[in-house]
Homo-oligomer: A and B are copies of this chain.
Amino acid sequence: MDHNVVGKSVRRLDAVAKVTGRAQYTDDFHERDMLVGKVLRSPHAHALVKRMDTSRAKALPGVVAVITPDDLPKIKFATAGHPWSLDPGHRDVEDRLILADKARFVGDAVAAVVAEDALTAEKALKLIEVEWEVLPHVLTAEDAMKEGAPLIHESRPGNVVSSFGVQFGDIEAELRGADHVIEGDYETSIVQHCHIESMSAFAYVDTDGRVVVNSSTQIPHIVRRIVAQSLGLPWGRVKVVKPYIGGGFGNKQDVCVEPLAAAMSLAAHGRPVRYCLTREEVFIDTRTRHAMKLHLKTAVTRDGELRGIHVQVLSNTGAYASHGHSIAMSAGGKFRPLYDFKAIKYEPRTVYTNLPVAGAMRGYGTPQIFFALESHLDDIARKLGMDPVALRLKNLIQVGHQDPLTRNVVRSFGIPECIRKGMEAIRWEEKRKALGRQDGPVRKGLGMALFAYASGTHPVALELAGARIVMNQDGSVTLQVGATEIGQGSDTVFAQITAEVLGLPVDMVHVVTTQDTDVAPWDSGAYASRQTFVTGIAVRKAALEVRAKVLQVAARRTGLNPDEMDLRDRKVVETSLGREVCALEDVAMDAFYDRILAAPITSDTSANVRINAMSYGATFVEVDVDTETGKVEVAEIWNVHDSGTIINPRLAEGQVHGGVSMALGYALLEQMLFDPQTGKPLNNNLLDYKLPTLLDTPKINAAFVETYDAAGSFGAKSLGECPVISPAPAVRNAVLDATGVAFHRIPLYPQAVFEKFREVGLTAQRSVEHV
């Protein structure tokens, strides 16, 4: 395909705003007479408030309001950032109040203070007297499911949010008839998003009596709905504004602070109140990535044909459901369209515990499932004496594959080419040969892993996106979307799609980057790597509508049939001759100022996208493992992606850099730790929580295999979350390759690695034979 703007590394639209510091984030806005809200958090993992005395807090000068659960509507609501469903059985679990009537984890918010300044608010919190009845608590899914375990939510006996699973084929038959049945246990840790910008909102009641919430969110239209639900307001009486966002990674696909911010303002008679979490609060009272324990049991033939797999998952969702079981189900759906299993049985359980709440985080279950699956495949290969790449190549699905459960069809499948490209890039064969027999303290190893991901949530959830384009008098256009730029570069991609359709340079597409739910078209927001794919379809549709209107006006001017004209380089051209018919500006001016026919050219449209496209990719990695210290160093890493057409290579590369860096933290360093006795967080700050810094991050290499997927705009598929999925198992497999030691839990941080080496008797002196 020959494109003018699509496929080019145009500069991101917000580049200047961000590097000059002029981009305004939620905390950069100030309302007159703004108050500060702070929250009283439970020191206990599980406890009842027997009595709460707020009188001393209320009496403190500068305190405007003290809010307890009794002051708020008793409406249970769900916080997950999903579009509403008309089907009650398809909605998220409604298990929380704005302030908890019972603390379910250390940090659960049980009261709030609104004051003239932060210091006064903090002081007032200390003056609230609480008499607690401490309850027994559980921190692991296993403990939570035990007979007699304390009940965290009355509505869920056994603390299981859901154990709904899926299957197809005859897994029992496959396991019975297999040459080998290979089992493995894999485990991931709780990690946090660590977006640079905190979770923050401010709210006020406007002079129309509506509740206005400005928020650092990925999902303004959903925030609007959930704030209204939580307060029992008509949805139209809430307005949400999303300014520039400093990262979200799924954490801001949840409605964590906005209902309370709104409640704080209502308690303060509508005055503006800012509720901004400290970093310590972000760690414990926003969302985390679910820790999962996965048991995989695979039927395989002696020559490596994967016949069937039985996956059991235990997912620890913490004290409230949030996205809960959706994440385990997402994991179960996204790994299927990759290997041609004849039977799959997927048995997940999502379980409440007295820990901070797990929710959406980049990858949405796939970093867990692919860590397990891709580690497991290397374990199988090793058992069969097969090359791990050969095992995978043997079992891949093919283009045209239709998922037996979702009925999604794979229209593009670049995995074979991703593997070829990745092997070539890292010089796989050459290095494998060179590794040979290794002695000495530092061992080198090569690893790889594959992944599959979707583009949006169809058919699980509604995929509705809106776009509005208005043509200006100079032929430039203004584009509005409800989809949110949160740093990933979506505004730039939408501008490119629009420019491509309309024959414009990209700087003639002006994108409104702030979403205000009053004027921004409806869109569910930034998640599920959906925007380039789903919103891209809406943007392209709007641009095509504008194009059709332009050609109609041009036809009026020229007498030519609209079908015989095209838009190129700010001109209307007669397609067959390539001849300029008129400038686009002339058409725009006619549309605005023709005395008889004036009608500005606009499109305000939406697309309900009922199709999905699977994205794919592979990580290839070389590691150096220090057997004496347990330190794993990534010497070289390649992520090769099939995300269909790459609309903007530089932005795509940036996504891969960020995602791989995040994945290496997941693989090697990060985990949230809790005191097993009390459930108290041990490292909820950026000093103790080991997020990789730039100095910890190796050079990250990105490569792309550009397939064309007919479902997407210009053939594009998802990319945003993809890079985060396969590095962890690839690293783990490289460590296996380097040391012969199969790790089953991440992160592979030095202490854990060192202890495991001790356990299996690996020392610097024991050599490893490469297979």
Contact = CB atoms under 8 A, between A and B. Distances in A.
Contacts of A522: 470, 592, 600
Given A20-B207, A478-B519, 7 more contacts: A86-B594, A235-B472, A236-B472, A464-B598, A468-B604, A512-B518, A602-B604
Interface in A587-612: 589-590, 592-600, 602-604, 606, 608, 610
24 contacts: A13-B208, A17-B207, A83-B593, A85-B593, A86-B595, A208-B510, A209-B507, A235-B473, A236-B475, A236-B508, A237-B474, A237-B476, A462-B595, A464-B598, A466-B600, A470-B522, A510-B518, A512-B518, A512-B519, A519-B519, A596-B608, A598-B606, A602-B604, A603-B604
B480 A593 contact: no
B84 A14 contact: no
Interface string A247-278: 00000000000000000000000000000000
Interface string A517-539: 01101100000000000000000
B476 A236 contact: yes
Given A17-B207, A589-B86, A519 B598 contact: no
Interface string A619-653: 00000000000000000000000000000000000
Which bracket fits the contact residues of A?
Answer: 35 or more
Interface in A476-501: 476-478, 480
Contacts of A478: 236, 518-519
Given A476-B234, A510-B208, A519-B512, A599 B606 contact: yes
Contacts of A470: 519, 521-522
A234 B608 contact: no
Nearest to A604: B604
Contacts of A593: 83-86, 462
Q: Which of A17, A209, A236, A468 has the most CB of B within 10 A?
A: A236
Interface in A210-242: 210, 225, 234-237
A207 B462 contact: no
A610 B596 contact: yes
Nearest to A476: B236
A22 interface: yes
B86 A235 contact: no
Contacts of A84: 473, 589, 592-593
A604 B474 CA distance: 20
A100 interface: no
Nearest to A482: B600
B473 A225 contact: yes
Contacts of A604: 468, 602-604
A182 interface: no
Contacts of A603: 604
Interface in A661-700: none
Interface string A63-95: 000000000000000000001111000000000
A103 to B, nearest CB: 33
Contacts of A14: 207
A608 B597 contact: yes
Interface in A1-53: 13-14, 16-17, 20, 22-23
A607 to B, nearest CB: 9
A14 B208 CA distance: 8
Nearest to A14: B207
Q: Which of A512, A595, A608, A610 has the most CB of B within 10 A?
A: A595
Contacts of A592: 84, 464, 522
Interface string A86-125: 1000000000000000000000000000000000000000
A237 B472 CA distance: 9
A597 B86 CA distance: 12
Contacts of A23: 207
Given A464-B592, A508-B236, A512-B518, A598 B608 contact: yes
A646 B30 CA distance: 41
A456 to B, nearest CB: 14
A235 B608 contact: no
A478 B521 CA distance: 11
A268 to B, nearest CB: 14
- Enumerate the 10 nearest inter-chain pairs by beta-carbon distance, A residue then B residue, closest first: A236-B476, A236-B472, A17-B207, A604-B604, A234-B474, A16-B207, A235-B473, A236-B474, A598-B608, A522-B600
A606 to B, nearest CB: 5
A85 B590 CA distance: 10
Nearest to A85: B593
Contacts of A473: 84, 225, 235-236
A521 B208 contact: no
Interface in A544-600: 589-590, 592-600
A86 B590 contact: yes
A83 B598 CA distance: 12
A453 to B, nearest CB: 22
Interface string A184-213: 000000000000000000000011111000
